[in-house]
């Protein structure tokens, strides 16, 4: 996993804001992870990490960041992870 997305995901896990790089290709406000301006992961009302579907990524960079969110959010035996519905955004 690249260092910039790893930094962002650790901050997201702690509920803190962070910027991955100066271009803001990935960043978090502590509640949502963004690729550029597209929300790609967030926690729902139950605390489950919701990640947009990989195919929703409009660029290779965004798709790579979505994969990193999936890897970060999923731990074997942990049910606190799901793929978002076909709608992009906070719809669950």
- pTM confidence score: 0.76
Residue 91 CA to residue 63 CA, distance in Å, equals 19
pLDDT tens track for 35-90 = 988 999 998 888 888 888 877 678 888 888 988 888 887 665 554 555 555 444 43
- Alpha-carbon 16 to chain mean position: 14
Instruction: With beta carbons less than 8 A apart as the criterion, state whether 21 and 4 touch.
Output: yes
Residues with Cβ within 8 Å of 75's Cβ and at least 6 positions away in sequence, in order, are 81
Given a cut of 70, whether residue 13 has pLDDT beyond it is yes
Domain limits at 74? 3-83
Q: Is residue 89 part of a domain?
A: no
Helix axes 60-73 and 3-14, enclosed angle (nearest 10):
50
- Alpha-carbon 70 to chain mean position: 7
Q: Is residue 41 part of a domain?
A: yes
Given a cut of 50, whether residue 17 has pLDDT beyond it is yes
Q: Is residue 55 part of a domain?
A: yes
The structure tokens listed for 78 are 């942990």
Q: Is residue 45 part of a domain?
A: yes
| Predicted pLDDT of residue 31 | 93
Q: What's the structural domain count of the chain? A: 1
Q: Is residue 33 part of a domain?
A: yes
Q: Is residue 92 part of a domain?
A: no
Q: Is residue 72 part of a domain?
A: yes
The alpha-carbon radius of gyration of the chain (Å, integer) is 12
């Amino acid at each position: 996993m690249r260092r910039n997305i790893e930094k962002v995901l650790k901050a997201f896990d702690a509920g803190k804001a962070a910027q991955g790089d100066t271009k803001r290709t990935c960043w978090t406000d502590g509640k949502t992870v963004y690729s550029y301006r597209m929300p790609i992961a967030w926690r729902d009302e139950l605390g489950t990490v919701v990640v947009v579907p990989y195919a929703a990524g409009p660029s290779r960079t965004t798709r790579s960041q979505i994969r990193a969110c999936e890897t970060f959010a999923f731990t074997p035996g942990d049910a606190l992870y799901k793929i978002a519905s076909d709608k992009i955004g906070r719809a669950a």
